Amino acid sequence: MSIDFGDDFFFGTATSSFQIEGRSPIIPQGESIWDSFCALPGRVSDRSNGLIACNHVERYAEDVALMKKLNMGVYRFSVAWPKVIPNGRGVVSPAGLDFYDRLVDELLAADIVPFPTLYHWDLPQALDDDGGWMMRETAEAFADYTTAVVERLGDRISTWMTFNEPYVSAALGYVTGEHAPGHRSLDAGLAVAHHLLVAHGMGMERIRAAAPNAEAGIVLNFTPAKPATKAPADVAAADIRNAWENEWYIGPIMGKGYPERAVEALGWNRVIDVRDGDMELIAAPIDVLGVNYYSRSVVSAVGQTQPLSHQRTEMGWEVHPESMRALLVWIHENYAPPKIVITENGAAMPDTQVAGGRINDTDRIDYLRRHLHAVHAAKEAGVPMAGYLAWSLMDNFEWAHGYTKKFGLVEIEERTLNRKPKASALWFAEVARTGVVPDA
Ligand code: FCB
């Protein structure tokens, strides 16, 4: 059966600054923790970096024109802190703000709603030199950066997002070390998680002050964990995983605090410095919750296992749209954010099939179609779904995987960096134009 999202639902794509922008000689910028991380041996699989990326910084007008051609109504991008305040705190760079000013104007002229995220992982290296997110002062620096950006662009932005996936920043950046800045300490991760939440709260205050009419919120990622068996040890392992990965951020933000069972299990109170007023600051009402969903996990007490029978993407992530529907219903029933936007959903695929010079990514189309059906089912069940943003507009720098994992609806040709829509881009353009998602 085909489904119809109706008129009050938007479609678009998402990207982030470090993954697509690259640098331009006319925009002096500071180093970010990802520049430093890329320079370390063995951290990024193809030894690449973000110096050129998709060269969006120079080709943004072409990218906006392409989005328009593809009927996209909304564009989620992130602002690079090192372009706006090269040293993290202090002097604001007019050239950096000018770039986002031009991007926003270009989008508005094309009738595309700009949907910015203030922090998508590219922390200025100068702040990391002082301890980065392990230090509470970094939250204050984020608040000042927020004011600088919102004061400049606020007259044209209807929705602000503070952070992208604080879970990933804390867990992969500070606990497992897979992401910048590459620390491996649970204590560091716990402190960072709290500082990110405090920074979110301070950022919300600054957005409210500088843009009282705009909506604001945060983007969280969710990977629902299911126990591998009914054995109590597996059930307990999945429960702790859910607390740490799926409840740690939404709980405090929606006024329910940290999940107590995990707080105990992880012994967090040893290290986290919760000050008077923090939990109230973090719980200040949001207007919209951004949900990033890619996959679920199947957890056993001896580590993660995944059923081999299910289809996986190039990331090794199981394709499981039913978990997306269940997740959205769970968020609605347990936390009731006023509005939910899917801020990321998509798949890395091999992209080896070519027809008529175009990547014929029927597997990606199938992934998008099935997940859109899941979103529609949640909407039908009463979840206040407002829109869906596919990850990603184009192939880009996929963090520790460099350019080896391709999530784009649009291919970026090697060397020329020319943009070539894949079959999925044309398919999604039709969905955006009609609001209708066809069955297979
Ligand atoms: C998310 C990130 C995004 C992209 C996708 C695949 O965790 O927010 O930048 O890397 O995963």
Ligand 1 pocket, 165 CB below 6 A?
yes
Active site residue 344: yes
Alpha-carbon gap, residue 114 to 154, rounded angstroms: 11
pLDDT band at 268 (very low <50, low <70, confident <90, very high): confident
Alpha-carbon gap, residue 83 to 77, rounded angstroms: 14
135 assigned to some structural domain: yes
Q: What percent of the chain has pLDDT over 90?
A: 94
390 assigned to some structural domain: yes
pLDDT at 306: 66
Chain mean position to CA 112: 19
Centre of ligand 1 from the C-alpha of residue 295, in Å: 12
pLDDT, tens digit, for every residue of 390-402?
Answer: 999 999 999 999 9
More confident residue, 122 or 440: 122
Centre of ligand 1 from the C-alpha of residue 233, in Å: 31
Residue type, 428: F
Distances, alpha carbon 283 to alpha carbons 157, 159, 250, 252, 349, in Å: 23, 18, 9, 6, 38
| Per-residue b or e along 175-198, where b marks 16 or more CB atoms closer than 10 Å to that residue's CB | bebebbbbbeebbbbbbbbbbbbb
> Which of 5-19, 40-54, 296-310 has the weakest average pLDDT?
296-310
439 assigned to some structural domain: no
Beta bridge partners of 391: 14
pLDDT at 308: 66
Ligand 1 pocket, 397 CB below 6 A?
no
Ligand 1 pocket, 389 CB below 6 A?
no
Q: Which tokens in the block code for residue 366?
A: 């199938």
Q: Quick check: pTM over 0.85?
A: yes
Burial category of 438 from C-beta neighbours within 10 Å (exposed 0-12, middle 13-18, buried 19 and up):
middle
> Which of 4-13, 40-49, 183-192, 302-311 has the weakest average pLDDT?
302-311
pLDDT band at 141 (very low <50, low <70, confident <90, very high): very high
Whether residue 305 has pLDDT greater than 80: no
Centre of ligand 1 from the C-alpha of residue 223, in Å: 13
What would the mean pLDDT of 357-364 be, rounded to a whole number? 97
pLDDT at 52: 98
Sign of the dihedral through C-alpha 343, 349, 351, 353: negative
> Best mutation site among 161, 163, 165, 176 for ligand 1, i.e. most ligand atoms within 8 A of its Cβ?
165
Q: What is the CATH number of the domain that holds 202?
A: 3.20.20.80
Task: Find the domain containing 166 and state its range.
Answer: 3-220+241-295+315-433
196 assigned to some structural domain: yes
- Is-contact 328 340, C-beta < 8 A? yes
Centre of ligand 1 from the C-alpha of residue 356, in Å: 30
Ligand 1 pocket, 16 CB below 6 A?
yes
Q: What is the SS3 assignment for 119?
A: strand
225 assigned to some structural domain: no
303 assigned to some structural domain: no
236 assigned to some structural domain: no
What would the mean pLDDT of 278-305 be, rounded to a whole number? 94
pLDDT, tens digit, for every residue of 330-353?
Answer: 999 999 999 999 999 999 999 999
- Is-contact 225 299, C-beta < 8 A? yes
310 assigned to some structural domain: no
Ligand 1 pocket, 344 CB below 6 A?
yes
Q: In the chain, how many domains are there?
A: 1
